[in-house]
């Protein structure tokens, strides 16, 4: 069956991880548009979540609840308090390097936390559950191999992507076994305003703006497909509104580029030179290439990306130039590791 118009008048939607990068961009765009829907942001405000990301905090159709999805009892209280019709699940630990050094928190948050949400959603009669996932669940491609489709096998290669695959399989099981209306999105690498500065593009931009060097793994030949965050949230909302129950939708930006070539683009945008590049020891199990075939969502739901890579990079750089201070990202990663 195809579900339509999930944000109906009077709806209450839980948006987990809504103070993070992608979730906050979603809320900032759609809270003002859907004034007859009440959005409840559920976020534990870890290193990646910040209330300053949310421009809509004073909106009448918005509420914030600080809660950890690993705490099932606390979650259940929130579900009983707000009685949501639906859940859009962004919340996740997503830093690959941290998952290599501390896999446990990824299992607890991404797998067990998602399991808590699915269980409560079923128990309380939630009408739709959208699980936001990643292209990394497919594993790695070599140069010249065909892009991943929704039918490609899941073959994750690091604890982060493995935990996201596990969460997906739980979501699928709740659709198959219990009939919960579940849809899943798998997007390529996001970039744009409000992204945590431990991620590649904001990390490199902020370091370059400060006159510092940027660390490139290995020789920088790894390939990623980049999508501007606004294109991704529009795709997610399209799936939320009109996606078919039980289906998975790839969301790619069709911007494949080697890390070293991206680094050189960022150097040019910030008026630095290639002396800013510092080659570092490669990441263990580093996936070589990600590439998504997004023809399904284009064909069935009519979505396609609108922001060119060059335009998106300029918008992103403008945001980080406008911020009053730049975080020490290395220190933030160390703090994350110690606290996990």
Q: Are 241 and 6 in contact (CB under 8 A)?
A: yes
Give the β-pairing of 128-134 and 182-187. Answer: parallel
Paired with 190 in beta bridges are 227
136 catalytic residue (yes or no):
yes
CA distance to 173, 192, 259, per residue, from 204 (Å): 39, 13, 11
Helix/strand/coil (H/E/C) assignment for every residue in 132-169: EEEHHHHCCECCCCCCECCCCCCCCCCHHHHHHHHHHH
Q: Are 136 and 161 in contact (CB under 8 A)?
A: yes
The catalytic residue among 26, 30, 47, 160 is 160
Rounded CA-CA distance 256/340 in Å is 33
The catalytic residue among 65, 93, 135, 196 is 135
CA distance to 6, 61, 229, 275, 325, per residue, from 10 (Å): 11, 10, 27, 56, 40
The secondary structure of the chain in percent helix, strand, coil, rounded to multiples of 5, reads 45, 20, 40
Per-residue tokens: 232: 């991704």
The catalytic residue among 43, 68, 93, 136 is 136
135 catalytic residue (yes or no):
yes
Paired with 41 in beta bridges are 15, 64
Residues annotated as part of the active site: 135-136, 160
């Amino acid at each position: 069956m195809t579900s339509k118009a999930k944000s109906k008048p009077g709806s209450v939607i839980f948006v987990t991880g809504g103070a993070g990068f992608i979730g906050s961009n979603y809320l900032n765009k759609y809270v003002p548009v859907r004034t007859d829907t009440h959005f409840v942001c559920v976020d534990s405000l870890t290193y990646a979540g910040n209330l300053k990301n949310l421009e809509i905090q004073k909106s009448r159709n918005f509420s914030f609840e600080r809660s950890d999805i690993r705490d099932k009892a606390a979650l259940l209280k929130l579900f009983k308090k707000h009685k949501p019709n639906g859940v859009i699940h962004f919340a996740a630990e997503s830093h690959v390097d941290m998952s290599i050094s501390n896999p446990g928190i990824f299992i607890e948050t991404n797998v067990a936390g998602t399991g808590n949400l699915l269980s409560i959603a079923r128990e309380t009669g939630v009408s739709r559950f959208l699980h936001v996932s990643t292209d990394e669940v497919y594993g790695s491609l070599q140069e010249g191999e065909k892009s991943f489709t929704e039918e490609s096998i899941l073959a994750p290669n690091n604890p982060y992507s493995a935990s996201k695959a596990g969460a997906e399989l739980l979501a699928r099981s709740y659709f198959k076994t219990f009939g919960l209306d579940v849809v899943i999105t798998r997007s390529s690498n996001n970039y744009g305003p409000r992204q945590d500065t431990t991620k590649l593009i904001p990390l490199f931009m902020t370091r370059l703006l400060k006159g510092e060097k940027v660390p490139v793994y290995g020789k920088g030949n790894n390939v990623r497909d980049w999508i501007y965050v606004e294109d991704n949230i529009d795709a997610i909302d399209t799936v939320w509104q009109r996606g078919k129950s039980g289906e998975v939708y790839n969301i790619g930006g069709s911007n494949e580029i080697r890390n070293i070539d991206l680094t050189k683009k960022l150097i040019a945008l910030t008026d630095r030179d290639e002396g800013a590049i510092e080659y570092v020891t490669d990441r263990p199990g580093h996936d070589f290439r990600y590439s998504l075939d997004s023809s399904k969502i284009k064909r069935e739901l009519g979505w396609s990306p609108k922001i060119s890579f060059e335009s998106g990079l300029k918008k992103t750089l403008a945001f980080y130039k406008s911020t009053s201070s730049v975080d020490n990202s290395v220190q933030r990663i160390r703090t994350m590791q110690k606290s996990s």
